[in-house]
Structure 1
Amino acid sequence: MISFYSKQVTGDHERWERFCAAVKGGDAEAVQELFGAFLSESISIRDTAVRKAKKENFYHGMFLGLLRAEGSWIVKSESGTGYSDILLMVPRERIGCVIEVKYAEKGAFDAACREAMEQIETHEYTELLRSEGMETIHKYGLACFRKSCQVTYEKE
């Protein structure tokens, strides 16, 4: 995994910067395109040859690693029941993001994205971002299956 990040992220700095700008700016189409490209170029479907819950963790870690490479952001990972998967804060710009990752069993992307967005709403994951002073909040439902992903987005 380290060689992936050093080659794909630092090696193609422009693409990684576009990915970060898309996440921060609420451009779900670009997030989907760029994260999908990272997946397609870097993983084997054998990487997710584990139980469903572990598959989700794999994609969570991939997305998290890309975000953590941006040193000026606050990125929190809370995997587990009742916690959001990824919270991102850009304090200088008062931008916050909630990213909920789901494994799209048998390629059921729409259902997995819906489930992710419902979880964000049901558990009120944006409240922590509001309490931290974030004024613009982007909510992403990220569904992954094999080397593909789909992103659903809402701005709050």
Structure 2
Amino acid sequence: MGKQHLWSVLFAAGYLTDAGRPGNEIHKLVIPNREVMNIYEKRIRSRFKVRVTGDTVRWTKFCEAIKTGDAVEVQQLFNEFMAASISIRDTFARKEMKENFFHGMLLGLLQAEGRWNLQSNAESGIGYTDIRLEIPALKTGCIIEVKYAENGQYDKACTKAMKQMEDDGYAEALRQDGMQIIHKYGIACYKKSCRVSYCMEKNNESSD
């Protein structure tokens, strides 16, 4: 009854809308618009920061792995965070909304590291990268592109993420800002697990 009450309250308040067919006894509740989606994303990031960054040892290792390009460690730790923090029901949404859910989780983790310059959906090249961060003191930048691995097709989703980063020139803004090392992560998520693809670019000609 608790969950049914929650859905009813959210529906009555306009935070969910019924996208099911008229007369159908089965209701398909969806998030109605981007404004409401932003509210959900903020709540996800807020909850995730409180629950996950409380595990300071694991969170510190995760940030260190992102910073140094240790993709194996990034994959292992993000899988551990998801296993401990979310329910499969949390990902019940349209494909693009599922990607936003995992995007929000990663953003919540990285925002807790207050010394980094972090941007979400930042314009770069000819598109908008999911997450872009800069560590000016180290002249290091990172690009993270999140994809939903439909039916567990992790390799396909990772390949798509990495190709999008290259085709759309997402690293260009980091080059212009003088980042000498650029870590590129394609993260494919499905239910409560992920797979990470990675490559690194060295930009030794960047200005001091």
Structure 2 gap ranges (5+): 1-43, 202-208
Shift of 1:141: 0.3
| Residue 6 (structure 1) aligned with residue 50 (structure 2) | yes
Give the alignment of 1:47-126 within 5 angstroms: 47-78=90-121, 82-126=127-171
Secondary structure of residue in 2 paired with 1:139: strand
* 1:133 aligned residue (178, 188, 199): 178
Query: 1:22-46 CA deviation, whole Å, 9 max, x = no partner?
Result: 0000000000000111111111111
Identity, in percent, stands at: 54
Change over 3 Å in CA distance of 1:135–1:16 after alignment to 2: same
Task: Tell me which amino acid in the other structure corresponds to 2:139.
Answer: R
CA distance in 2, matches of 1:53, 1:4: 20
Pick from 168, 176, 188: which aligns with 1:143?
188
Give the superposed CA RMSD. 1.4
Against the structure 1 CA distance between its residues 106 and 79, is the aligned structure 2 distance closer, same or farther, given a 3 Å change threshold?
farther
1:23-38 superposed matches below 5 A: 23-38=66-81
CA distance in 2, matches of 1:113, 1:4: 24
Taking structure 2 as the reference length, the TM-score comes to 0.72
Q: Distance in 2 between matches of 1:54 and 1:18?
A: 28
| Regions of 4+ moved over 4 Å | none
Q: CA deviation at 1:108?
A: 0.2
Deviation at 1:7, TM superposition (A): 3.1
Deviations 1:127-149 (A, max 9, x none): 00010110000000000000000
Q: Tell me if 1:40 matches 2:80.
A: no
Query: 1 or 2 for the larger relative contact order (CA 8 Å, sep ≥6)?
Result: 1
Matched positions, count: 155
Unaligned runs of 5+ in 1: none
TM-score if structure 1 supplies the norm length? 0.95
Give the match's secondary structure for 2:99.
helix
Question: Which protein shows a greater Rg?
Answer: 2
Cα 1:79–1:36 shift into 2, 3 Å: farther
